[in-house]
Amino acid sequence: MASLGAKLRFVLTAGVGFFADGYLNLTIGLGERFNLYFQNGKVPAVDSDIIKGGLNLGMVAGQLLSGVLSDVLGRHTIYGKELLLTIFGTLMVILLPWKGMSVQSVTAWVAVFRVLTGAGIGADYPLSSSLSAEKSPFGSRAVQVLTVFSNIGLGNIAASIVFLVLLKAFEGSMANDLSHLEWTVPYKQYVCDDAAGQRHGFTEQWKDFREYFNELRHAKVLFATAASWFLFDIAYYGINLNQSIILARIGYAKGATPWQTLYNTAVGNIIIQAAGFLPGFYVGIFLPDRIGRVRQQFYTCIIVCILYAIWAGISTQSAHTPTAGLMVIFALSQFLLTVGPNCTTFLIPAEVFPTRVRGTAHGISAAAGKCGAILTAFAFGTVEDAISLEGVLGLFSGVMLLTALVTLMIPESKNHTLDGIERGELYGERAAVAELSSSENVAYFNDNGPKV
C-alpha cells in the first residue's frame, strides 16, 4: 500500500499536464485581445479562430496516439514523454521571432506551435486518467481521477492572475504607448506483465479492441462517451475560449482607455473563474460517489441547457438586463458545467472500459471532445458575427440537451470495482466474459505472443 506522501506526489505529478491545458487554453483568449500586429490591435475572427483552435487540433492527435500506445506499451513507457512536446511547443510560441514577420506569419507561427503543444497536452489525457483509475486511490477512485483533472481549473485561474499582474506591471507604459510512472497492477493483471517476459504489441491490442467493441452494447458505450464529450466541448470551449468576447458583449469589459478595457477583462475572467469554474471542480469531485456519474452528467446538462436558454433571452437589447445579472448567470452556468460534464466526461471513460482497452477508448473519447473544441474554436467568431451572442447561446442550449440525452446510453459505474468492470458487471454479468484471468493471461502470451 502506497504511503500518503506517495499518493499526494502522484496526484501532483499526474496533474501537471492538466494545469498546462487550463493555463494555455485560457491565455490565448486573453493574449490575443491585445495583439498589436493586427490593425487597431483587433484580431480578425478567422485569425483568432485559427490561433485558438490550433491547440485543440494537436490535442486530438495526442489523445488518439497516446491512448493506443499506453495500451500497447504500458503507461510507464509513455508517461512523461508528452511533457517534452508541451514544453517545446510552448517555448516556440513564446520565442516567436517578431522582427520582420507579417501578420499572416504571426498567425501561422503561433498556430503551428500550438498544435505541437496540444499534441503533448492531449497525450496526457488517456495516460493520466488510466493511471489515476488504476493506482491505489487517494480517497475513492472517482476522487483521485477528478482531483488530478481539477488541476485544469487551477491552470485557468493562474492564467487570469498572471494576465492581471502583467497588466498592472505595464500600466504606465501602456497608458503612454499601447504598442510599447510504473506499470500498474491492473495492467499487469489484465493485460500483460513485461517483467514476466510477456509481450503486448499492436497486433494483440487491435485484437483486444476488435473483440471487445464488436459487441454492440460495448460499441454503444464508446459512442456515448465520445459523443457526449464532443457535444459538451462545443459549448464548453465556445464559452471558455471566448470569455473575453462574452464579457465585452455583456458590458463588463468596457473601459475609458485601452488599458482599462484589458484590466476589466482580466478582472472579469478572474471573477468567473473564482465564482463558477474553480469551485465547480471541487464540488464535482465528491458527487460521483454520492449521486452517480450518469446522474451527475445528465442533470447538470439539463440545468445548463435551461440556463443558456434564459441567458439568450435576457441578452437581447430589449431586455435591458443589468450587467450584474448577466455576470451572475454566466458564473452559475460555468459552475454547473464544471460540476457536471466537465468532470464526468473525463471520469466515465476511465472507468466503464476494461483495462485492455481503457487507454485507447479514453483517447478516442477525449479526441472526440477536442474535435468539438476545434469546431467551436474555428467557428465561434464567424457564427457569433452571423447570429449574435444570443443566437450562439440558444445553439449551445440545444447542444447541452443533446449531451444529456446521449448520456443515458452510458452504464453507471458507481460502486463497481475495477475487477467487477473487467468481469462485465456493468452489463449485469457476474462471471468473466471476454478477459482471461491473470494466470490464463500469462499462458496466453507464452503460447500466442509474438516471438522474438
Query: Residue range 305-315: average pLDDT?
Result: 93
The pLDDT of residue 94 is: 75
d(C-alpha 3, C-alpha 8), whole Å? 9
**SS3 per residue for the chain:** CCCHHHHHHHHHHHCHHHHHHHHHHHHHHHHHHHCCCCHHHCCCHHHHHHHHHHHHHHHHHHHHHHHHHHHHHCHHHHCCHHHHHHHHHHHHHHCCCCCCCCHHHHHHHHHHHHHHHHHHHHHHHHHHHHHHHHCCCCCCHHHHHHHHHCHHHHHHHHHHHHHHHHHHHCHHHHHHCCCCCCCCHHHHHHCCCHHHCCCCCHHHHHHHHHHHHCCHHHHHHHHHHHHHHHHHHHHHHHHHCCHHHHHHHCCCCCCCCHHHHHHHHHHHHHHHHHHHHHHHHHHHCCCHHHHCHHHHHHHHHHHHHHHHHHHHHHCCHHHCCCHHHHHHHHHHHHHHHHHHHHHHHHHHHHHCCCHHHHHHHHHHHHHHHHHHHHHHHHHHHHHHHHHHHHHHHHHHHHHHHHHHHHHCCCCCCCCCCHHHHHCCHHHCCCCCCCCCCHHHHHHHHHHHCCCC
Q: What percent of the chain has pLDDT over 90?
A: 24
Place of cell 497536452: 121
Extract long-range pairs of 434-439: CB within 8 Å, 24+ residues apart: 434/211, 434/212, 434/354, 435/190, 435/354, 435/356, 438/188, 438/189, 438/190
* Mean model confidence pLDDT for the chain: 80
Q: Higher pLDDT residue, 432 or 87? A: 87
- For residue 450, give Cα distances in angstroms to 95, 190, 210: 46, 18, 18
The pLDDT of residue 446 is: 45
Place of cell 491547440: 55
Query: Residue range 28-50: average pLDDT?
Result: 62
pLDDT tens sequence across 85-141: 888 988 888 777 766 677 778 788 888 998 998 898 888 888 888 888 887 666 788
Q: Which residues neighbour 330 within 8 Å (Cβ) at sequence distance 6 or greater?
A: 246, 250, 272, 276, 311
Place of cell 435551461: 306
Nearest CA-CA partner of 18 in 338, 234, 324: 338
Q: What percent of the chain has pLDDT over 70?
A: 81
pLDDT tens sequence across 139-189: 788 888 888 888 888 887 887 787 776 676 656 655 555 554 344 667 677
> Using an 8 Å Cβ cutoff, are 121 and 21 in contact?
yes
Burial of 196 (0-12, 13-18, 19+ CB in 10 A): exposed
Q: Higher pLDDT residue, 202 or 92? A: 92
C-alpha dihedral sign at 256, 257, 260, 266: positive
pLDDT at 196 over 80: no
pLDDT tens sequence across 373-404: 889 988 888 898 899 889 999 999 999 999 99
Q: Higher pLDDT residue, 342 or 418? A: 342
The pLDDT of residue 182 is: 42
pLDDT at 364 over 90: yes
- pLDDT band, residue 450 (cuts 50/70/90): very low
CATH topology of domain 4-172+194-448: Growth Hormone; Chain: A; (1.20.1250)
C-alpha dihedral sign at 403, 206, 185, 359: negative
d(C-alpha 421, C-alpha 242), whole Å? 39
User: Which three three-digit cell numbers place residue 411?
Assistant: 452504464
The pLDDT of residue 448 is: 44
The pLDDT of residue 40 is: 54
Query: Residue range 14-42: average pLDDT?
Result: 66
Encode burial over 331-342: b for 16+ CB neighbours within 10 A, e otherwise: bbbbbbbbbbbb
d(C-alpha 254, C-alpha 261), whole Å? 5
The pLDDT of residue 32 is: 58
The pLDDT of residue 396 is: 96
Pick the range with the lowest mean pLDDT from 112-121, 198-207, 208-217, 363-372.
198-207
d(C-alpha 326, C-alpha 315), whole Å? 8
pLDDT tens sequence across 279-305: 888 898 889 999 999 999 999 999 999
Encode burial over 392-411: b for 16+ CB neighbours within 10 A, e otherwise: bbbbbbebbbbbbbbbeebb
Highest mean pLDDT among 41-50, 152-161, 289-298, 411-420: 289-298
pLDDT at 222 over 60: yes
Encode burial over 48-78: b for 16+ CB neighbours within 10 A, e otherwise: bbbbbbbbbbbbbbbbbbbbbbbbbbbbbeb
The pLDDT of residue 218 is: 94
- For residue 38, give Cα distances in angstroms to 10, 86, 167, 176, 410: 43, 27, 20, 19, 46
pLDDT at 365 over 90: yes
